Amino acid sequence: MTNSTEINLVAEALKNGGLVAFPTETVYGLGADATSDTAVAKLFAAKGRPSFNPLISHVHAAETAFALGEFSAEAKKLAQAFWPGPLTVVVPRAARSPVSLLASAGLSSIALRVPNHPLALELLRAVDRPVVAPSANLSGRVSPTTAAHVKRGLGKKVAVILDGGPCSVGVESTVVSFMNERATLLRPGGLSRDDIEKVLGHELEIEADSAQPHSPGQMESHYAPHAFLRLDATAPHKGESYLGFGDHDHGPYTLSVRGDVVEAAANLFRMLHELDGLGVKTIAVAPIPHEGLGEAINDRLRRAAAPRPKT
């Protein structure tokens, strides 16, 4: 039985940086406090993803979402028509957003959703801050639609599993982006394209085949700093800024003094943004061990260091 005492305990666990699995109408999510870099880094570590995928921030009311992103009239119209429900919208991040940059993998956008499940809504209300939640499975595995699936897939990696029975929709939310001039379908899901187009009064653009090679500058349309990156640098050259790790520690920016890859992941995007904001030409980056989240960090750094067209 899930009662309000249990919900409050789970909400506290989330606020303290814990990972909690909870039901939504689409699939079970593995939740973390979206405003905590550390909690989000822990979540990526638990999922075992070799790269940082941007995550959806879940909130309990549309009004809350409207404060976290910049909603166009169309984005608002869709949200009001389908929330709570299996719709995720991608919009520009609000200025001074409290959401961790790691949650959106350093992008200038944010994905938002109000799920339609009484337990999820009760939990989100109790937490009273955005909660990022990818599907509660290991990377590359099938999304869980019962608490038992979550337990089988994640086992001890998750402190608590809120059991809300089987998910009624059973597939992930439909993701629609408003980052371009026209609303674009990024992921088909539990809300049909027809239903969305009826409300919009026009067709959705379809994301170009993601298997197609992009030009290096737009690679995965992910954040790339303006500065050049020199990787595996044990010390800065003259004129370079340094992003350190462990023993390679020169100056104020060190991803993790104690050499912890989870802590490094938590700091990665924020520190890259901060260094980039200083207007330096080159950021030299310390070697990062290729283990655990180090794999995702190195993936991100390699992309950011890739040659790109001048803009």
Report the C-alpha gap between 13 and 10 in whole angstroms: 5
Closest Cα to residue 267, out of 241, 233, 250, 243?
243
Residue 173 binding ligand TXA, by CB under 6 A: yes
Q: Which is nearer to Mg ion, 88 or 135 (CB)?
A: 135
**296 interface partner picked from ligand TXA, Mg ion, none, CB below 5 to 8 A per type:** none
**53 interface partner picked from ligand TXA, Mg ion, none, CB below 5 to 8 A per type:** ligand TXA
**55 interface partner picked from Mg ion, ligand TXA, none, CB below 5 to 8 A per type:** ligand TXA
- Residues between 215 and 254 with contacts to ligand TXA, criterion CB under 6 A: none
Residue 147 binding ligand TXA, by CB under 6 A: no
Residue 26 binding ligand TXA, by CB under 6 A: yes
CB of 158 to ligand TXA, least distance (A): 13
Q: Which is nearer to ligand TXA, 172 or 240 (CB)?
A: 172
Q: Which is nearer to ligand TXA, 103 or 285 (CB)?
A: 103
x/- map, 153-172, ligand TXA, by CB under 6 A: -------------------x
Q: Which is nearer to ligand TXA, 121 or 288 (CB)?
A: 121
CB 180 within 8 A of CB 163: no
Closest Cα to residue 200, out of 87, 93, 116, 115?
87
Closest Cα to residue 189, out of 204, 208, 201?
204
Closest Cα to residue 167, out of 1, 58, 27?
27
Structure tokens at 208: 């170009």
Backbone phi and psi for residue 130, each to the nearest 5 degrees, phi listed first: -65, 145
Q: Which is nearer to ligand TXA, 221 or 234 (CB)?
A: 221
Helix (H, G, I), strand (E, B) or coil at 261: helix
For residue 146, which amino acid is it? T
CB 77 within 8 A of CB 91: no
Helix (H, G, I), strand (E, B) or coil at 296: helix
Q: Which is nearer to ligand TXA, 147 or 243 (CB)?
A: 147
- Residues between 110 and 139 with contacts to ligand TXA, criterion CB under 6 A: 110-111, 113, 115, 133-135
Q: Name the CA radius of gyration of the chain, rounded.
A: 20
- Residues forming contacts to ligand TXA in the complex (CB under 6 A) are 24, 26-27, 29, 53-56, 88, 90, 104, 107, 109-111, 113, 115, 133-135, 172-173, 175, 177, 186-187
